[in-house]
């Protein structure tokens, strides 16, 4: 099993966890660790340390953070360097979190990260591109009828 720690600036991690709960219900071994205004990297590292104490030793751990190179990312890096059962991905959003939660019991951490990396390219969509594709398809059908 893979335990998931969501972290990021402000209340984003808590809101993301709450949003996933609306869709999936409450999930075991899903923790939100916010980095709040006025806190430093040491405070966040201590929060991570306390959170990690509650995770079973046999679990792998996935940190999902908001920004690559931000404080939540930097604070988690020492834990990952020292423990092969942990890894991290930056750029978390609700679709990525839902995918991680749905797959985490079915594959090892490295495989899950590959799945999430591929999925991230599919979750960012531009509305105007979709509308243009619909217009083009509609025009092609009209042209075929003529």
We report the CATH number of the domain holding residue 89 as: 3.40.50.510
Show the domain range for 138: 2-145
Model pTM score: 0.86
Residue range 74-130, pLDDT digits in tens: 999 999 998 889 999 999 999 999 999 999 999 999 999 999 998 877 777 788 888
Active-site residue identified among 9, 11, 106, 138: 9
Count of structural domains within the chain = 1
The answer on pLDDT for 58 being more than 80 is yes
- For the question of residue 9 being annotated catalytic, the response is yes
Buried (b) or exposed (e) across 97-128, using 16+ Cβ within 10 A? bbbbbeebeeeebeebbebbeeebeeeeeeee
């Amino acid at each position: 099993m893979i335990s998931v720690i969501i972290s990021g600036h402000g209340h984003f991690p808590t809101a993301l966890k709450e949003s996933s709960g609306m869709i999936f219900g409450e999930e075991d071994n899903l923790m939100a660790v916010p980095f709040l205004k006025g806190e430093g990297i040491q405070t966040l590292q201590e929060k991570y340390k306390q959170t990690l104490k509650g995770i079973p030793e046999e679990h792998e751990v996935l940190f999902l953070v908001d920004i690559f190179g931000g404080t939540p990312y930097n604070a988690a890096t020492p834990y990952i360097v020292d423990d092969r059962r942990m890894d991290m991905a930056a750029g978390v959003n609700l679709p990525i979190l839902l995918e991680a939660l749905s797959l985490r019991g079915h594959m090892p951490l490295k495989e899950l990260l590959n799945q999430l990396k591929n999925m991230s390219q599919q979750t960012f969509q531009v509305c105007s591109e979709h509308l243009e594709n619909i217009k083009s398809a509609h025009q092609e059908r009209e042209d075929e009828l003529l």
